[in-house]
Amino acid sequence: MPRKIEISHRTIIFTVLFLGLLWFLYFIRDIILQIFVALLIMSVLNPLVTKLQKFRVPRVISIVIVYVAVFVVLGISIAVIASPLVNQTSNFANSLPKYLEDLNIPVVIIDEVTREVASQIGMLPSQVVKVGVSLFSNVITVFTVFIFALYFLLAQESRNKQVEMFFNKNHSQRIVKTIDLLEGKLGGWARGQFVLMLMVGVSTYVGLLILGIPFALPLALLSGILEIVPTIGPIIAAIPVIIVGLVISPLTGLAAGALAFLIQQIEFYVFVPKVMEKSTGTSPITTLLALIIGVRVAGIVGALLSVPIVLAVQVFIQEFLLEKDEGKK
């Protein structure tokens, strides 16, 4: 005789509410993403604010100084590299078919590359309006994220009291400890990753200038950006460098490959151990898997946020699940 399965009203209500919560979180996913990025920025900037406070600078003024310094550095960096970057990137895109032809690449591939480059250039006028709207929307989003980060920085001093308002003393101390650990890991990873990208980019740029390889700025920028992808990133970044070097001469191509290999070895044995010594210690395999899944789920944004999300999950498991299991033992 088949068993009769009874579902209580509480189970139905709980299921409906749970599904409704999931739908609501998906509906406001953009806002959640902005808040998460703001928390990441706050984790990066908070140590600088704290250091200024040690010199008896009020926290509000310290935050203003850090914000102004960040925007000044970003503005100067963009102003310095924007024009040569655009020019060199455009010249490289236009010269790429000729480079492939000089390397005796099959005509079919050359024609396909040329057609793709031409189509992308031809689409530029029709995309002006869309780019303008997108740029305006992105500016508003970036502004919103920095406003969120500003409020998070301002709320740091009263954070412990706010947590104690909702939880008892023991739970509030544990939550504050978890938040501090998460901020330390996120901030350490972000600062360390930025330093690594800067080191690799600058090293590549100087090496390309010494070798006399053209398009040094976009190639170095590509190397710096792809540094965020362990193992595979430097290999992908080395391919266009070697192609440009081979067009000049086989010896220059060999030197370009040697430069990429040398920078990768210095990065692996010198840069990473020194920079990440006090950082998160996340393994390259974990980072690579997180990046692949992040790209699959949310594209570039997913790639940028995949590692911070993994760090947050690791902290949560370490502080709540593992400690709870140890307590039962």
Both 37 and 172 in one domain: the answer is no
Is residue 133 domain-shared with residue 178, that is, in the same domain?
no
Same domain, 44 and 55: yes
CA 311, chain centre distance (Å): 13
pLDDT band at 129 (very low <50, low <70, confident <90, very high): very low
Cα 276 off chain centre by: 16
Q: Which of 49-53, 82-86, 186-190 has the lowest mean pLDDT?
A: 82-86
| Tokens linked to 186 | 């996120």
Choosing from 110, 141, 157, the residue where a domain stops is: 157
4 DSSP 8-state letter: P
**What are the CA-CA distances from residue 88 to residues 69, 101, 240 (Å)?**
29, 20, 14
Does 152 lie in the same domain as 167? no
| Nearest CA-CA partner of 242 in 129, 67, 100 | 100
- C-alpha 115/C-alpha 112 separation (Å) is 5
Same domain membership, residue 296 and residue 170? yes
- The confidence band for 277, taking pLDDT boundaries of 50, 70 and 90, is low
- Domain presence at residue 47: yes
Average pLDDT for residues 48-58, to the nearest whole number? 88
For residue 95, tell me if it sits in a domain: yes
Residue 79 lies in a domain: yes
Evaluate whether residue 308 is within a structural domain: yes
CA distances to 42, 234, 266, 283 from 261, rounded to whole Å, are 35, 9, 9, 21
Mean residue pLDDT of the chain comes to: 75
The CA distance from 205 to 222, in Å, is 10
- Does 176 lie in the same domain as 317? yes
Residues 206 and 303 in one domain: yes
Confidence of residue 327 (pLDDT cuts 50, 70, 90): low
- Shared domain for 314 and 170, answered yes or no, is yes
Q: Mean pLDDT, to the nearest integer, of 66-84?
A: 83
**In 3D, which of 301, 242, 171 has the Cα closest to residue 163?**
171
The verdict on residue 1 lying in a domain is: no
Tokens 């060999």, residue?
254
- Please check whether residue 279 lies inside any domain of the structure: yes
Count other C-beta atoms under 10 Å from residue 83's C-beta: 10
Q: What is the DSSP string of 134-196?
A: HHHHHHHHHHHHHHHHHHHHHTSTTHHHHHHHHS-HHHHHHHHHHHHHHHHHHHHHHHHHHHH
- Residue 266 is part of which domain span? 158-324
Alpha-helix residue ranges (DSSP H) falling in the chain: 9-27, 29-53, 59-102, 107-122, 128-154, 159-166, 169-211, 216-226, 232-248, 250-266, 272-275, 284-316, 323-328
> Residue 126: is its pLDDT beyond 70?
no
How many domains does the structure of the chain reveal? 2
User: Do 249 and 271 fall within a single domain?
Assistant: yes
Are both 218 and 265 inside the same structural domain?
yes
Q: Are residues 173 and 196 in the same domain?
A: yes
Q: Identify whether residues 103 and 187 lie together within a single domain.
A: no
Question: Quick check: is 145 in a domain?
Answer: yes
54: DSSP letter: T
Does residue 16 sit within a domain? no
Q: Please identify, among 107, 137, 157, the residue that sits at the C-terminal boundary of a domain.
A: 157
